[in-house]
């Protein structure tokens, strides 16, 4: 496990026992999930959105949660079992190399997670790979208003704290386009605010994998 993965797992294992909001936008609410959909939440944390997706997807659909933190995954699996969900699965996997088949999902969501990656181009290529042709993503995340200095980006603790790995909005949109999503739209966006030692803004983006 890399230093960064270790720092992320350490921080979120500890937070899995606490009752705090770790989201930064309305990805789930804007995802337009239909009955029968196969849905995936990347960086699912305690799995709240996975259970909400499973409810909408119904018996003919399936909701998957992907995370790197054992603490988060244990909590998510426990909640799903207590509530009797049968159309839910959780897997431990890094977002840069997702342990799921290609052309697998109708909908991919993610909330406040991709900024933790220093290889966000790889994460976006994986999102493109796992979506079925015609499938869509809705991702809430943060971007940095200015390029983040390397002294912060190279500090795995700061990246794990959900700010130092942020890229600028133009870089973020470029990663999405380079992955193959020729058109994406920003559905919501906050004003800039202070986070860690930088300024960030939150936004929610939607894009669709072309059918051919
Ligand atoms: C800020 S929390 C958000 C959790 C959830 N999406 C929510 O809105 O409550 C970020 C989550 O992403 C996971 N995560 C961060 N980087 C990851 C990576 N590279 N691969 C897999 N999971 C990651 C963390 O373990 C954590 O559970």
What CATH fold (topology level) applies to the domain 3-19+34-208?
Rossmann fold (3.40.50)
Q: What angle do CA 111, 134, 51 make, to 5 degrees?
A: 35
User: 83 CA to middle of ligand 1, Å?
Assistant: 22
Q: For the chain, what are the domain ranges?
A: 3-19+34-208
Q: What is the pTM of this model?
A: 0.98
User: Does residue 21 come out as left (phi exceeding 0), alpha (psi in the -120 to 50 range) or beta?
Assistant: beta
> Which atom of ligand 1 is found nearest the CA of 123?
19
Does position 1 have pLDDT exceeding 80, yes or no? no
Token pair of 12, please?
């979120």
Taking the CA of residue 45 as reference, the ligand 1 atom at the shortest distance is 27
Nearest protein Cα to ligand 1, atom 8: 23
DSSP 66: E
Distance in Å, CA 212 to ligand 1 centroid: 31
The 10s digit of each residue's pLDDT in 17-35 is 888 889 999 999 999 999 9
Summarised one tens digit per residue, pLDDT across range 123-170 is 999 999 999 999 999 999 999 999 999 999 999 999 999 999 999 999
Ligand 1 atom at minimum distance from 116 CA: 16
pLDDT at position 19 is 85
Structure tokens at 167: 């890229």
Residues in the chain: 212
Contacts for 166 with CB less than 8 Å, ≥ 6 apart: 115, 142, 143, 144, 148, 198, 200
State the alpha helices, DSSP H only, in 83-191.
120-130, 150-153, 156-160, 169-179
Q: What is the DSSP string of 5-41?
A: HHHHHHHHHHHTTS------S-TTTTS---TT-EEEE
Dump pLDDT digits (tens) for 85-96.
Answer: 999 999 999 999
What are the Cα distances from residue 111, in Å, to 47, 60, 81?
11, 25, 23
pLDDT at 130: 98
**Ligand 1 contacts CB of residue 23 (under 6 A):** yes
């Amino acid at each position: 496990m890399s230093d960064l993965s270790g720092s992320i797992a350490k921080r979120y294992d500890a937070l899995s026992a606490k009752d705090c909001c770790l989201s930064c936008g309305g990805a789930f609410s804007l995802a337009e999930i239909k009955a029968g959909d196969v849905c995936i939440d990347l960086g699912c944390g305690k799995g709240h959105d996975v259970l909400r997706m499973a409810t909408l997807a119904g018996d003919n659909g399936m909701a998957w949660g992907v995370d790197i933190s054992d603490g988060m995954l244990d909590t998510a699996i426990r909640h799903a079992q207590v509530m009797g969900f049968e159309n839910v699965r959780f897997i431990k996997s890094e977002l840069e190399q997702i342990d799921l088949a290609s052309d697998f999902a109708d909908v991919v969501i993610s909330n406040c997670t991709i900024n933790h990656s220093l290889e966000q181009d790889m994460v976006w290529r994986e999102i493109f790979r796992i979506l079925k042709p015609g499938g869509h993503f809705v991702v809430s995340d943060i971007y940095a208003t200015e390029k983040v200095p390397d002294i912060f980006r190279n500090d795995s603790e700061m990246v794990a704290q959900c700010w130092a790995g942020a890229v600028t909005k133009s870089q973020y949109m470029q990663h999405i386009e380079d992955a193959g999503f020729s058109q994406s739209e920003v559905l919501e966006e906050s004003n800039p605010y202070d986070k860690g030692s930088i300024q960030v803004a939150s936004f929610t983006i939607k894009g669709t994998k072309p059918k051919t």
